Chain A
Amino acid sequence: GENVEQHPSTLSVQEGDSAVIKCTYSDSASNYFPWYKQELGKGPQLIIDIRSNVGEKKDQRIAVTLNKTAKHFSLHITETQPEDSAVYFCAARMDSSYKLIFGSGTRLLVRP
C-alpha cells in the first residue's frame, strides 16, 4: 500500500534562515500532495498543496516542489520566523481516493 516517509523528524533553524522538509512516497499513482501545519494543542491546518501536473508552487514564504520521477516532494520555508515553529506533516493521495497517507511529521523550531 501507499507509504509516505518524512525527514527530518526534528529541525532547528535560526530565525531568518530557510527550512526544508522532505517527503517520499511509494505509489506512483499519487497525484495530490498537501502540507499541514500543527501548532501545539491544535489540529493540523493546510498551508499549501500541489498536484502532480505541477512541479512547484509558491505562497509568500512557503513553497512546495514535486519530483514525480523520484517520487519525492519538499516544503521550503524562507525567512523563518518564531511563529513558524510547529509540527509539519506531508501527505499523499491517489487519484479519486478518500485516503490521505500522512508522513510521521517534522518538529520545526525557529530560534529567535
Chain B
Amino acid sequence: NAGVTQTPKFRVLKTGQSMTLLCAQDMNHEYMYWYRQDPGMGLRLIHYSVGEGTTAKGEVPDGYNVSRLKKQNFLLGLESAAPSQTSVYFCASSYEIGETQYFGPGTRLLVL
C-alpha cells in the first residue's frame, strides 16, 4: 500500500496563477483533510471531507477550494495564488472522523 500520496512535491507560482494539488489514498478511508504548515504555527486545517461528494471548511479556508469526486482523491485548488499562501501543504486521511490521521509527504508551494 502506498498510503497517502501527494502531487506535486514542489511548485513555484507567480501571484495570481492557479493550481491544483492532488491527494490520493489507497486505505479506503472516508475522511480526508488538507492542512497547511507554517513555521511556528503547527498544522492548520484548511478543508476536510467526510465522504465522497462532500466537503467542509476548516480553520483557514479562505483562498482555497476543494473537491472530492472520488473517495480516494481529495483535490485542493488555489484560484488566484497570493504570497501568503506560501507554505507546506499536507493531506491526511482517517478511518474515523478525528481519529488517527495518516499524512502524505507534503507539497512545498512558493508563491512569488
Cβ contact within 8 Å between B97 and A98: yes
Question: With A41-B105, A42-B105, A98-B50 as given contacts, are A32 and B98 in contact (CB-CB < 8 Å)?
Answer: yes
Cβ contact within 8 Å between B42 and A105: yes
B26 to chain A, nearest CB (A): 15
B22 to chain A, nearest CB (A): 15
Cβ contact within 8 Å between A9 and B40: yes
A59 to chain B, nearest CB (A): 14
Q: Roughly how many angstroms separate A97 CA and B43 CA in the complex, as a whole number?
A: 16
Cβ contact within 8 Å between A49 and B100: yes
* Chain B residues closer than 8 Å to A103, beta-carbon distance: 42
Q: Roughly how many angstroms separate A102 CA and B36 CA in the complex, as a whole number?
A: 11
Q: Roughly how many angstroms separate A65 CA and B100 CA in the complex, as a whole number?
A: 18
* Chain A residues closer than 8 Å to B21, beta-carbon distance: none
Q: Can you list, as one digit per residue, whether each of A34-60 has a CB less than 8 Å from chain B (1) or not (0)? A: 101000011111100100000000000
Chain A: how many interface residues by the 8 Å CB criterion?
A: 24
* Chain B residues closer than 8 Å to A100, beta-carbon distance: 43, 45, 98, 101
Cβ contact within 8 Å between B42 and A102: yes
| Besides A43-B105, A102-B42, A104-B42, 8 new A-B residue pairs in contact (Cβ under 8 A), listed by A number | A9-B40, A42-B106, A43-B103, A43-B106, A46-B102, A99-B98, A100-B98, A100-B101
Q: Which residues of B contact A (CB under 8 A)?
A: 4, 31, 40-45, 48, 50, 56, 58-59, 90, 92, 97-106
The 6 nearest A-B residue pairs measured at CB: A43-B103, A102-B42, A102-B43, A104-B42, A93-B98, A44-B103
